[in-house]
Structures are given as C-alpha cells and as structure tokens.
Structure 1
Amino acid sequence: MPALAQTPTLSDVRQAIVRCLIDTVDRPCISISEVSHAVRRMYPLCELTDWELGDLIARSAIDAGFAVEFGADVP
C-alpha cells in the first residue's frame, strides 16, 4: 500500500528551498517562480500561500547572497 502524502512542515519547505538554491549556485540570480514551482512539485500539499512561499524563497535567497528575480516568466 502506498504511503499517504503528508503536509510538509515549514522546516521541510525551507530545506527544499535550500536544495534548489544549492542546485543553482552557479547562477548569480534565482527566479522566485522557478523555485516556487520546484517546491510545489516536491510538496504538492504545501499549505503556504504563493505570497508566503515567495517571501520565504526571497528571504532565503537574499540571505545566501543571491540576486532575486521576481518576474514570472516560467509558465
């Protein structure tokens, strides 16, 4: 029987964001939209709003020294 998907904790979401940042360490700028889509694919039951998730991504990226692209050019 497959395991039931669980709602991720805030710590789980932060770890997913950090993994995305590590994966893009060779790029000086990250896209909020790209990271948001990646996190939502990893955790489809994430209860954060788009605004809350975007804010968390931006804060994490800025803390890590990335420039942040706020545009939504990824479908």
Structure 2
Amino acid sequence: MSGSTRPLLESASVRLPGALWPLALFLGTLAVALGPAGRATAARGEARNPGQALVGVVCGAAGAVLALLLAFIA
C-alpha cells in the first residue's frame, strides 16, 4: 500500500463506526420492540420460532447498548 492512501484508510476506519451508531441504535431498538411480538405470535401457534425472537431481543439490546457506548466515546 502506498504511503499516500494509508492516512485516508486509517481515518475512514476511525470515523465510519462513529458515524453508524445512530443506525445501530435504531435497529437495536427495533429488534427489542419486535421481539416480544414474535414471541407472542409463537405462543399463539402462528409461528414456530420463539427462540429466534428471544435471540433477536438479546442481540438488539446488546447492539443498542453498544451503540450508546459508541455515541459517548465518539
């Protein structure tokens, strides 16, 4: 890699995650909101994936928390 492109790539690798935290926060919140609806659908017998809905809630919550931490750091 040439010396002139290295600072550009290093700058993008630092700024890009800092710019994506609002998207991560939105999608994490959406997953936490829709997960219980998915579990309720499975409880009624209309779906067969209550575990997948639970994993969506857990991953969404983790993503939202990490997005908030990144927002305060960036």
Q: Return the TM-score normalized by structure 2.
A: 0.30
Q: Return the TM-score normalized by structure 1.
A: 0.30
| Structure having the larger proportion of residues in strand | 1
Answer with 1 or 2: which has the greater Rg: 2
| Structure having the larger proportion of residues in helix | 2
